[in-house]
């Protein structure tokens, strides 16, 4: 067989090789496997898999053994053995041979850019080396930032294990609404957003000896802002060490930005990865994924599979479909362990993806692009890449932010493929055509700072006393209009005065670790005496979209349960209702189960609520309840979200200021009601521009909460009289 598929350009023109043909045959096979598993299996000798069935039996034995061992704690000798094997793993990582050289480079340079293939040990090892080298003497701390919550948590857990300490002692993590650190914590893994917030309490980061900005290539908004701030701090704190760690992308840019800081390259170990494309585009990539996983499972030699999907809902759907089909195939196929990983997955579930696959079985990890570079899972040989990711985009002209599923970039696709070649030669199956790769994918992903709203960050920078944002040291500047709009919005929210200076209310808003509109809503709850309810709404909004679940076999029951929570007024009140009833049940998991509510999400909402409640005093909001007067709750929400309003016109809903056409999300409690004025929490662009979490409001409230923003004239409705009465009247008018 010729050496193939390493060069992607050639791939397109080359005639399909033996492998490719087998792959395509297998595709057809698996497609029939999908519809009539038994028949396909009996006709196609390939699927009889006699050998594999024997292996299944072997596997059962292996799990039984494991099961017996687990309950009792390993004897001391086993513990020592375990520790020794952990150390052996540490020594086997690509970064290890460079330990001394790296430490010397860090000692000699204030800023060092570190480039290394994903999985080479940058995140887990370098902070430990620094710890061993004494960078945490005299209580100084080392920060290592991660763009993603899950990565911060899981990496901290791993490092704590490697160091033999309890998570939260010497090693800890800190992510929004969850602080797993203590006085003793010197190695702090944290989200980039959390380090940004550290600047509020410690503008010179005086308690840190080293700041490692990790996963710098991800170019998240917070990482980009950190660059500017850290560069500044480094100037007047010469003893502070700054490390910028990145996968093998873009490092020259970082070097230039940090005044030509040296780049330390950790040579990677990478096995060749064969790339396969589909012959024709796939219409339904979720379905295609499921089929392909089974196909890999039945036709390919051992090795785990990594699948890239775009988000929790998709991942859960894919996992369900996979499990379902495996169940139907029964003993015809070997055991397939289906494991999801996404941001909101509880940590015990997250840990499962790192556990070694039992012999004879195969693991398939279905992940968001968190597994692209932030997390390395051992044993992956096959990567399945549908070529999509969820991306935020922002239109500064309309002020609309939306989260859409878009094709990923070539750089992303190549990172994904690389994950197959870490332990041995691997294969990457792309669910798109070679032509699409060449012609339809962008080279790189646009940095987040250029496609997001900046309200949050501008508020933070203003509270750090950074006034002249136009001249802030950005690696890539945001669009001018986006900055301007952020300033305008903050002015409208009362966070800035007409000179662009932070107001008292703005200072308070910056104290709360949530978006400016949400902070404003919380502050406004003081005036409307409903902070208890508003805290709940805020907490529930922050665990958004994962409150209800809808198992396939109980769709009707689940939908009925959801409708039972509906309250007149809209989705925010529904969320409030769910939480209140859950609290009345004593925060019961049984209650959640009976009402098709996700217990995990609720538990998280409770955590968030507690944390926000703890901050109320700092922002001078007292605890109070509306006692059932939901108009007050709705007005407080409006005080924060008056920017996000839509009115019903003869041709459907349009946003009030920008006149954009928008639609009520079918899951909304107001889907069938069509109130004249609406407020929405967010817009999500799928097939249409959908408003998610909508609330019915009165136009007069807009004048009450934002007189500087709305003129009475623009809130008059020329069509009102011509509309049928039933639609034209609001709930309040109807009594
Ligand atoms: O940061 P980089 O991508 O260079 O590598 P790393 O995240 O430090 O990973 C080094 C090794 O630790 C890899 O072999 C991972 O599989 C392993 N690791 C793990 O087993 N569990 C984690 N939670 C994180 C990393
Ligand atoms: Mg890393």
CA–CA separation, 275 vs 246, rounded Å? 24
What is the CA(600)–ligand 1 centre distance, in A?
27
Contact 152, 180 (CB under 8 A): no
Chain segment 194-222, per-residue pLDDT in tens? 999 999 999 999 999 999 999 999 999 99
CA distance 522 to 21: 60
DSSP-derived secondary structure for 531-569: HHHHHHHHHHHHTTT-SB---GGGHHHHHHHHHTT--TT
pLDDT at 392: 86
Closest to 309 in 3D by CA, of 343, 272, 350: 343
Look at residue 211 and give its three-state secondary structure: strand
Per the CB < 8 A criterion, the answer to whether 376 and 125 are in contact is no
User: Does residue 114 have a pLDDT over 90?
Assistant: yes
| Ligand 1 centroid distance, CA of 185 (Å) | 21
- At 508 the pLDDT is 95
Strand partners, 187: 142, 171
Residue with tokens 């399909």: 16
Quote the Cα angle for 100-106-112, to 5°: 125
Pocket test residue of 92, 115, 124, 355 for ligand 1, highest count of atoms within 8 A of CB: 124
121 lines ligand 1 (CB under 6 A): yes
Neighbours of 228 (CB within 10 A): 15
- Spatial neighbors of 476 by CB under 8 A, at least 6 apart, are 219, 224, 447, 449, 450
Q: Does the pLDDT at position 708 exceed 70?
A: yes
The pLDDT of residue 34 is: 31
Which range has the worst mean pLDDT, 140-154, 323-337, 545-559? 545-559
Stretch 522-534: mean pLDDT = 97
Can you give the pLDDT at residue 220? Answer: 95
The position carrying tokens 């598929």 is: 5
Residue 446 has pLDDT above 60, yes or no: yes
Instruction: Using pLDDT thresholds of 50, 70 and 90, give the confidence band for residue 80.
Output: confident
Three-state secondary structure readout of 115-172: EECCCCCHHHHHHHHHHHCCCCHHHCEEEEEECCHHHHHHHHHHHHHHHCCCECCCEE
Relative to the CA of 245, which ligand 1 atom is closest? 1
CA–CA separation, 83 and 166 (whole Å): 14
Q: Nearest CA to 30 among 292, 305, 383, 318?
A: 292
pLDDT of 42: 33
> Per-residue pLDDT averaged across 467-493, rounded?
92
The region of weakest confidence among 32-36, 339-343, 487-491, 674-678 is: 32-36
What is the CA(511)–ligand 2 centre distance, in A?
30
Between 683 and 306, residue with greater pLDDT:
306
Of 158, 266, 268, 372, the residue with max ligand 1 atoms within 8 A of its CB, to mutate for a pocket test, comes to 158
Q: Does 587 contact ligand 1 (Cβ within 6 A)?
A: no
**How confident is the model at residue 310, as a pLDDT?**
94
Q: Is there an atom of ligand 1 within 6 Å of 120 CB?
A: yes
Q: Whose CA is nearest to atom 14 of ligand 1?
A: 119
Contact 173, 156 (CB under 8 A): yes
648 CA → ligand 1 middle, Å: 52
Look at ligand 1, atom 15, and give the residue with the nearest C-alpha.
376
- List C-alpha distances in Å: 28 to 319, 490, 644: 22, 56, 48
CB of 376 shorter than 6 A to ligand 1: yes
Contact 606, 539 (CB under 8 A): yes
Q: If phi over 0 gives left and psi between -120 and 50 gives alpha, with beta otherwise, what is residue 250?
A: left
DSSP 217: G
Per residue in 266-302, pLDDT (tens digit) is 987 778 999 999 888 888 899 999 999 999 999 999 9
Average confidence (pLDDT) over 240-255: 90
Query: Where does the pLDDT of residue 718 fall: very low under 50, low under 70, confident under 90, or very high at 90 and above?
Result: low
- Residue 592 neighbours by CB under 8 Å, 6+ apart: 582, 598, 599, 602
pLDDT band per the 50, 70, 90 thresholds, residue 76: low
Find out whether 113 and 251 touch, Cβ atoms under 8 Å.
Answer: yes
Distance between CA atoms of 183 and 343, rounded to whole angstroms?
Answer: 27
Question: What is the 438 CA–ligand 2 centroid distance (Å)?
Answer: 28
Q: Are 454 and 483 in contact (CB under 8 A)?
A: yes
Q: Which residue has the higher pLDDT, 680 or 343?
A: 680
Tell me the CA end-to-end span of the chain in Å, nearest whole number. 78
Ligand located closest to 216 CA: 2
The response to whether residue 116 sits with its C-beta less than 6 Å from ligand 1 reads yes
Determine whether the shortest distance from the Cβ of 219 to ligand 1 is under 6 A: no
Instruction: Give the dihedral sign, CA 159/344/554/287.
Output: negative
pLDDT of residue 240: 97
Higher pLDDT, 4 or 523: 523
Query: What is the distance in A from the centroid of ligand 1 to the CA of 147?
Result: 15
CA separation for the pair 426, 418 (Å, rounded):
9
SS (H, E, C) 271-325: CCEEEEECCCCCCCHHHHHHHHHHHHHHHCCCCEEEEECCCHHHHHHHHHHHHHH
d(CA 713, CA 717): 9
Please report, rounded to a whole number, the percentage of residues in the chain having pLDDT higher than 90.
Answer: 65
Q: Which long-range contacts (CB under 8 A, 24 or more apart) does 649-653 make?
A: 649/719, 650/719, 650/722, 650/723, 653/678, 653/691
CA of 92 to the centre of ligand 1 (A): 12
Ligand 2 centre and the CA of 216: distance in Å? Answer: 10
Indicate if the alpha-carbon torsion angle 99, 102, 104, 107 is positive or negative. negative
pLDDT in tens, 473-482: 999 999 999 9
pLDDT at 386: 95
- Average of per-residue pLDDT across 225-240: 96
Span from the CA of 243 to the centroid of ligand 1 (angstroms)? 18
pLDDT at 719: 56
- What is the interface pTM, i.e. ipTM, of the complex? 0.98
Cα separation, 494 vs 486, in Å, equals: 12
Atom nearest to 215 CA in ligand 1: 1
User: Sign of the CA dihedral 227, 229, 235, 236?
Assistant: negative
Report the residue count for the chain: 735
**Choice among 175-179, 625-629, 658-662, 686-690 with the minimum mean pLDDT:** 686-690
Closest-lying ligand 1 atom to the alpha carbon of residue 266: 4
Structure tokens at 16: 């399909």
Tens of pLDDT, residues 18-57: 555 555 544 444 433 332 223 333 333 222 222 222 222 1
pLDDT one-digit tens code per residue, 511-521: 999 999 999 99
Residue 19 is predicted with a pLDDT of 53
For residues 508 and 620, is the Cβ–Cβ distance under 8 A? yes
Name the average pLDDT for the chain: 85
pLDDT at 105 over 90: yes
Closest CA to 404 of 417, 388, 416: 388
């Amino acid at each position: 067989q010729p050496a193939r598929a390493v060069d992607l350009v050639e791939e397109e023109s080359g005639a399909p090789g033996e492998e490719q043909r087998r792959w395509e045959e297998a595709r057809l096979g698996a497609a029939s496997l999908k519809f009539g598993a038994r028949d396909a299996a009996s006709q196609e000798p390939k699927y009889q898999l006699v050998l594999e069935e024997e292996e299944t039996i072997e596997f059962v034995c292996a799990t039984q053994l494991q099961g017996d061992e687990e309950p009792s704690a390993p004897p001391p000798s086993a513990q020592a053995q375990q520790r020794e094997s952990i150390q052996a793993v540490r020594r086997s990582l690509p970064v290890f041979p460079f330990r001394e050289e790296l430490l010397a480079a860090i000692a000699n340079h204030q800023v060092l850019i570190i480039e290394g293939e994903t999985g080479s040990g940058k995140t887990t090892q370098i902070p430990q080396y620094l710890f061993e080298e004494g960078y945490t003497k005299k209580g100084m701390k080392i920060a290592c930032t991660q763009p993603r919550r899950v990565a911060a948590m899981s990496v901290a857990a791993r490092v704590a294990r490697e160091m033999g300490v309890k998570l939260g002692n010497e090693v800890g993590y800190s992510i929004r609404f969850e602080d797993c650190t203590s006085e003793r914590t010197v190695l702090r893994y944290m989200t980039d957003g959390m380090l940004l917030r550290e600047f509020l309490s410690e503008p010179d980061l005086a308690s840190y000896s080293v700041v490692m900005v990790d996963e710098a290539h991800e170019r998240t908004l917070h990482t980009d802002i950190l660059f500017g701030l850290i560069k500044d701090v480094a100037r007047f704190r010469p003893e502070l060490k700054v490390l910028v760690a990145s996968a093998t992308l873009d490092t020259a840019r970082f070097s230039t930005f940090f005044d030509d800081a040296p780049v330390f390259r950790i040579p990677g170990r990478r096995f060749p990865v064969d790339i396969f494309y589909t012959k024709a585009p796939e219409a339904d990539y979720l379905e295609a994924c499921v089929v392909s996983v089974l196909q890999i499972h039945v036709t390919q030699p051992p090795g785990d599979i990594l699948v890239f999907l775009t988000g929790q809902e998709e991942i859960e759907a894919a996992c369900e479909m996979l499990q379902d089909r495996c169940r139907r195939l029964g003993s015809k196929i070997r055991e397939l362990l289906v494991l999801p990983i996404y941001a909101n997955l509880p940590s015990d579930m997250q840990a499962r993806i790192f556990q070694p696959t039992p012999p004879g079985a195969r693991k398939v990890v279905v992940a968001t692009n968190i597994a692209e570079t932030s997390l390395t899972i051992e044993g992956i040989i096959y990567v399945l890449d549908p070529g999509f990711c969820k991306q935020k985009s922002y239109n500064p002209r309309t002020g609309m932010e939306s989260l859409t599923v878009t094709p990923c970039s070539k750089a992303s696709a190549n990172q994904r493929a690389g994950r197959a070649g870490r332990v041995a030669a691997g294969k990457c199956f792309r669910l798109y055509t070679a032509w699409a790769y060449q012609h339809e994918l962008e080279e790189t992903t646009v940095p987040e700072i250029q496609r997001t709203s900046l309200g949050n960050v501008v508020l933070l920078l203003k509270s750090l006393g950074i006034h002249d944002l136009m001249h802030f040291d950005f690696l890539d500047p945001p669009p001018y209009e986006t900055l301007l709009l952020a300033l305008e919005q903050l002015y409208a929210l009362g966070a800035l005065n007409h000179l662009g200076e932070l107001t008292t209310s703005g200072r308070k808003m910056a104290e709360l670790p949530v978006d400016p509109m949400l902070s404003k809503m919380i502050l406004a709850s003081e005036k409307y005496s409903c902070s208890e309810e508003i805290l709940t709404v805020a907490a529930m909004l922050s665990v958004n979209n994962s409150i209800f679940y809808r198992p396939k076999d109980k769709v009707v029951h689940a939908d009925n349960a959801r409708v039972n929570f509906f309250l007149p007024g809209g989705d925010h009140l529904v969320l409030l209702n769910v939480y209140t009833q859950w609290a009345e049940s004593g925060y019961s998991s049984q209650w959640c189960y009976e009402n098709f509510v996700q217990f995990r999400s609720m538990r998280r909402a409770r955590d968030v609520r507690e944390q926000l409640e703890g901050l109320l005093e700092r922002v001078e909001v007292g605890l109070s309840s509306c006692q059932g007067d939901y108009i007050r709750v709705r007005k407080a929400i409006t005080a924060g979200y008056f920017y996000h309003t839509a009115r019903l016109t003869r041709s459907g809903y349009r946003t009030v200021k920008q006149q954009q056409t928008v639609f009520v999300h079918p899951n909304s409690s107001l889907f069938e009601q069509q109130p004249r004025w609406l407020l929405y929490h967010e817009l999500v662009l799928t097939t249409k521009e959908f408003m998610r979490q909508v609330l019915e409001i009165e136009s007069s409230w807009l004048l009450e909460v934002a007189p500087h923003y709305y003129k009475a004239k623009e809130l008059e409705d020329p069509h009102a009289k011509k509309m049928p009465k039933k639609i034209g009247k609001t709930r309040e008018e109807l009594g």
